[in-house]
Amino acid sequence: MRANFIISEVLNGLRRNVTMTIAMILTTAITLGMFGAGLLVIQMADKSQKIFLDRVEMQFWINDDVADRDPGCTADPCSTLRTQLQNEPGVAKVTFIDRAEAFKIAKNTFKDTPDIVDETTLPASLKVRMSDPGRFGDVLDKYQKAPGVDGVLDQRDLVKRIFSVLDGVRNAAFVIAVVLAISAIMLIINMVQIAAYTRRTEVSIMRLVGATRWYTQLPFLLEAVFAALIGSLLAIGGLFAAKVLFFENALHDLYGVNILARITNSDVLFVSPWLVLGGIALSGVTSYVTLRWYVRE
């Protein structure tokens, strides 16, 4: 009997304040949608970073004087450095590239502008490929000032620049989500206050006949939670749509060359429960605090 009464009160409250309920649903949906988009960008960045680190290499440029004396890297210090690198944990392969091979690689890379390569003297180098990307920095820092090394090529800088863009997109999504969350909180407060005001006579009578404060306030709290739940479901639907319309279409070329990791349905499903819980928590806590501080009946 009590459950039927509470359900009927919730439905009546939603119907009486239909415009505010719709506004709250839409605001909550956009808020959670932006928050979910930020979470998806984080997942994309994490998976993309693994792709890059699996392919990233380091290169130790050999000093010109050393390369002149030892063009095949068979004597100290070049051969010693090569052996040390090969014996390092996490190193998969060490390849020596002499000046002639370096010239051929550059010629092929810049085949549309051969004059640039013809006027450049390229140094010999040791190219290191890692089997454990987590050891990349340790190996680089250990040998970048080793005897015979004139400089290093650290491709992590390129990775960092790419992911700084993703970080910016994620941060923007979170900032927008925070602003919209504040708007949603204001709407919830107004919705609860208006609902309580329009039913103040009913609440007073119920309190006089012995109803507890919690029992009289529960319908207002459930109204806000129900609206937030609908908003969270709309946000999840929006993320699935964004996956198809934005991530699949706008990033199709980057997906094709394996620069960015693909956002999948599993990724959206992974963040979905957090959106539902976030919406319920946001509305539930805001409604409870509002009822405790502003509704005294």
What does the DSSP 8-state code read for residue 155? T
pLDDT at 80 > cutoff 80 = yes
pLDDT at 196 > cutoff 70 = no
| The pLDDT of residue 233 | 92
The answer to whether the CB of 139 falls within 8 A of the CB of 58 is: yes
What is d(CA 270, CA 71) in angstroms, rounded to the nearest whole number?
Answer: 54
- For residue 146 the two structure tokens come to 């080793």
| The pLDDT of residue 234 | 92
Cα–chain center distance at 239? 14
pLDDT at 201 > cutoff 70 = no
The answer to whether the CB of 126 falls within 8 A of the CB of 81 is: yes
pLDDT at 60 > cutoff 60 = yes
pLDDT at 296 > cutoff 60 = no
What is the DSSP code string of 1-70?
A: -HHHHHHHHHHHHHHHTHHHHHHHHHHHHHHHHHHHHHHHHHHHHHHHHHHHHHH-EEEEEEPHHHHHH-
| The pLDDT of residue 98 | 86
pLDDT at 18 > cutoff 70 = yes
Burial of 16 per CB tally in 10 Å (0-12, 13-18, 19+): middle
Q: Where are the alpha helices (DSSP H) in the chain?
A: 2-16, 18-55, 64-69, 78-86, 99-109, 114-118, 136-143, 156-198, 200-208, 213-242, 249-250, 252-256, 265-294
What is d(CA 233, CA 210) in angstroms, rounded to the nearest whole number?
Answer: 37
218-239 average pLDDT score: 84
| The pLDDT of residue 264 | 81
| The pLDDT of residue 1 | 45
Residue 48 pLDDT class (50, 70, 90 cuts): confident
Q: Residue 167: how many CB atoms within 10 A of its CB?
A: 14
Interhelix angle 200-208/156-198, nearest 10 degrees: 70
The answer to whether the CB of 140 falls within 8 A of the CB of 154 is: yes
Out of 93-97, 142-146, 270-274, 293-297, pick the least confident.
293-297
Out of 177-181, 202-206, 224-228, pick the least confident.
202-206
Rounded to the nearest integer, the mean pLDDT of the chain is 76
Give 267-280 pLDDT, tens digit per residue. Answer: 889 889 988 998 88
| The pLDDT of residue 236 | 92
Q: Residue 146 contacts by C-beta under 8 Å, 6 or more apart in sequence? A: 60, 77, 81, 84
Q: Residue 156: how many CB atoms within 10 A of its CB?
A: 15
